[in-house]
Amino acid sequence: MSCSLRWQVELLFKGWKSLFDLDRVKKMKKERFECHLYGTLIAILVTQTLLFQARRYWHQREGIKISEWKA
C-alpha cells in the first residue's frame, strides 16, 4: 500500500472514530456490544454513501470538488 493511500485510510478511520465515538465503549453484555457495533457500522456505511452521492452531485452539476468533511 502506498504511503499516501495509507495516510488517507488512517484519516478516514480517525474521522470515523471521532464522529461516531468509537473510542468510548461502556461495559456491557456481548450481545448488546455486537448490536451497538453493527448499528455503528451501518451508520458509517449510510453516511459514507450519502457523502459520496453529495460529492458526486456537486462535482457533476456545479463543477465543484469538495472534501468529505465539507460535504
Sequence ranges of the domains in the chain: 25-71
At residue 51, what is the residue type?
A: L
Written in H, E and C, the secondary structure of 22-44 is: CCCCCCCCHHHHHHHHHHHHHHH
Give 10-residue mean pLDDT values along the chain (71 residues).
78 81 82 90 89 86 75 59
pLDDT computed for residue 46 by the predictor: 92
Looking at residue 68, what is its pLDDT? Answer: 66
Predicted local distance difference test score (pLDDT) of residue 20: 78
The overall pTM is greater than 0.85:
no
63: left (phi over 0), alpha (psi -120 to 50) or beta: left
Q: In angstroms, rounded to a whole number, what is the distance separating the alpha carbons of residues 46 and 39?
A: 11
